[in-house]
Amino acid sequence: MKIKFKQDRETILKILESASIMRKLRVLDKLNGVNEKDSIKILLKVLEDNSWCLREKAAYKLVQYGKKVVPRLNRLLKRGYWFTRAAACITLGEIGDIKALNAVITLLLNDENPTVIKEAKTALIKIAEKNPDEFSIAVQEMEIEKDMLARILLIIEQNAPELYRQIKLKISNE
């Protein structure tokens, strides 16, 4: 079946409900014919798909929309399945918006799924790398206990020692 991508969002969402991963991948590859608002809605919906391949592809495609998708991704961190939360973390890390920090840290400290925790750690580090100064200020302003802050800093120290030194210095000076 030949798929026309100038179709309305509902038709595309119906195609994405099919069992064929190849068909779904073709839809994702050709979303350019759909307006931005609908593309975002479709990609967010794909983050809830059972296929990791599709979720990962959608996660990286969402990055191009930047900060405008952060609030919706933050909501997915609170209500999605574990695989949706993990995929949302990938996108949030790549975008690197400090507005995602609170949701990512909450997930990191409270989620029980190892894949989600791994992706939340990666997102945390990428957000910190994009703007260490903003990160340092934001993490200090968060209402978290000192031992939780220590856990966050330990994660950064173990994964990005130079970044940790930079953040620690900034926190010490304030």
Q: pLDDT tens, 104-162?
A: 999 999 999 999 999 999 999 999 999 999 999 999 898 888 899 999 999 999 999 99
Q: What average pLDDT does range 66-81 have in this prediction?
A: 93
CA distance 18 to 151: 42
1 has a pLDDT exceeding 70: no
The percentage of the chain sitting over the pLDDT mark of 90, rounded to a whole number, equals 60
Q: What is the mean pLDDT of the chain?
A: 87
Q: What average pLDDT does range 65-82 have in this prediction?
A: 93
Q: Which of 18-22, 42-46, 78-82, 135-139 has the highest average model confidence (pLDDT)? A: 135-139
Ordered structural domains, the chain, with CATH: 9-173 (1.25.10.10)
CA distance 160 to 149: 16
3 has a pLDDT exceeding 60: no
Q: Which of 45-54, 74-83, 116-125, 165-174 has the highest average model confidence (pLDDT)? A: 116-125
CA distance 73 to 80: 10
The pTM of this model reads: 0.84
Let me know: does 83 contact 52? Beta carbons within 8 Å.
Answer: yes
Predicted confidence band at 80 (pLDDT cuts at 50, 70, 90)? Answer: confident
Predicted confidence band at 16 (pLDDT cuts at 50, 70, 90)? Answer: low
The sign of the torsion formed by the CA atoms of 164, 169, 131, 70 equals positive
